Structure 1
Amino acid sequence: MMTNTESAKQGLDLSNYDEEQVRLMGEMCIMLDNDDNAIGAESKKTSHLMGNINKGMLHRAFSVFLFDSQNRLLLQQRASEKITFPDHFTNTCCSHPLAIPSEVVEEGQLGVRRAAQRKLEHELGIKPEQVPLDKFKYLTRIHYMAPSDGMWGEHEIDYILFIKADVDLDINPNEVKSYKYVSMDEMKEIIATAEEKGVLLTPWFKLIDETFLYKWWASIDNLDALVDEETIHRL
């Protein structure tokens, strides 16, 4: 994993960032061409630097939207320690499949599902048996780019996964600052008043909210007709 010393040798001083978040920057992401074909692997640090993103570096990601039995969506607020988009509210879990054998499997989005299950446990303490791989409903992919703070940003092909499950939470405070379940009306109110209330929202969450979220949410118990395995939506 990437240490502060190793990063400094590469001309990037990470000493002001949280030690655990710096460690995670050493994880290897799956690099892509514009058609979501895997073409290699680079560290999370390398793939999230805007200098590299502006040259076209693109990686695979996923966004999980978890709903409880009352059809409320679980939101999280990213921890202050996060290097990209700290303190921003977002959907339940957003991260990356890693360039490891179990998570590069593309058939049935199996690698992405495994990564989602892993990160739900890491960030929110949700046990894998509460979110079985076959219960994730894959909906589509979105391709977007978003700067975070000038140095860091995102450029991803993001796999959208819905899952309906009542789960037990054991929050990792290094990842998640707060969380809440919201109804559709409450979600619309958060979005409508975010700017005036100073509520920070991640760019991918805003994009999904503006384009697809409520259509999908309204059909949470009958999503099959909305699945699109072919399209990569360029947002």
Structure 2
Amino acid sequence: MGDVLADSTMDAVQRRLMFEDECILVDESDNVIGHDSKYNCHLMETINAGKALHRAFSVFLFNSKYELLLQQRSATKVTFPLVWTNTCCSHPLYRESELMKEDVLGVRNAAQRKLLDELGIPAEDVPVDQFTPLGRMLYKAPSDGKWGEHELDYLLFIVRDVTVKPNPDEVADAKYVSREDLKEIFRKADAGEEGVTLSPWFRLVVDNFLYKWWDHVEKGTLNEAVDMETIHKLIE
């Protein structure tokens, strides 16, 4: 696996990330058991062999009007190109600053890094201590015949007004939505209208958690929703 020549049509930026980034391999209890390239971790061959479960995070960023920032993944993404999803979805890497367990600091550091990489949001706009880790979910989802996801995903919420300058290598579009806007996006996706498609992990969060957590965002009571003990095993 990991044959660069076999993927010579891959966008140069995505190829570099797929082969240079080392994801954190974990067991189903979120214990670190090793590391592997982003490329190998997203091959269905590796996933089906049970060797690809890795740590991930999904950021849900709200502005002061309690609107949620969504992004559409770029067309050059290897997995799930052009799907709409939550603010930022990526992986903490196998490096000291992103392996730190206390207060979920490693995952928070990774989230801050990727918000800058993908959406141009400066680190000072999203201080690591302002992320609220609400829970964890474990899911598996195919992207196409070759690629897929098998992740233990940390769900991070943050309420901040930020500067957004999307990186076109990562993001095709971005917009803030209200609850009603989001429900309309899901309706269009379910009806097959306007070519709207959604990431599987975003669907899982919306179907299982998002709207009740959105209530806590608006009430300023997010800490009441925190459950970092449970790992929710969800199937897409």
Report the count of equivalent residues: 228
Residue equivalent to 1:228: 227
Within-5 A mapping of 1:1-235: 7-8=4-5, 13-26=6-19, 27-56=21-50, 57-196=52-191, 197=193, 198-220=195-217, 221-235=220-234
Deviation at 1:150, TM superposition (A): 1.1
Q: Distance in 2 between matches of 1:29 and 1:195?
A: 32
The amino acid of 2:133's aligned partner reads Y
Mapped to 1, the partners of 2:229 and 2:31 lie a distance apart of 13
Shift of residue 170 of structure 1? 1.3
Show CA shifts across 1:39-69 (max 9, x none).
0000000111000001112000000000000
Could you tell me how far apart the structure 1 residues matched to 2:7 and 2:197 are?
A: 24
Q: Which runs of 5+ in 2 are unaligned?
A: none
Q: Structure 1 regions of 5+ residues with no counterpart?
A: none
1:224 & 1:101 partners in 2: Cα distance? 27
Separation in structure 1 between the aligned mates of residue 77 and residue 29 of structure 2, nearest angstrom? 29
Residue 17 of structure 1 deviates from its aligned partner by 1.2
Q: Matched residues, percent identical?
A: 56
Q: What TM-score, normalized by structure 2, do the two folds share? A: 0.94
Q: Deviations over 1:77-125 (max 9, x none)?
A: 0000000000000000000000001001111100000000000000000
What SS class does the counterpart of residue 166 from structure 2 fall into? coil
Question: Secondary structure of the equivalent of 1:87?
Answer: coil
CA deviation after TM superposition for structure 1 residue 7, in Å:
2.1
In the alignment, the residues of structure 2 paired with residue 22 and residue 29 of structure 1 have an alpha-carbon distance, to the nearest angstrom, of 15
Distance in 2 (CA, whole Å) between partners of 1:210 and 1:140 is 15
Deviation >6 Å, runs of 4+: none
Q: Secondary structure at the match of 1:173?
A: coil
In angstroms, what is the RMSD of aligned CA positions?
A: 1.2
Deviation at 1:195, TM superposition (A): 3.0
Q: What is the Cα deviation at residue 188 of structure 1? A: 1.1
Q: Deviations over 1:18-42 (max 9, x none)?
A: 0110100020000011110000000
Amino acid at match of 1:25: M
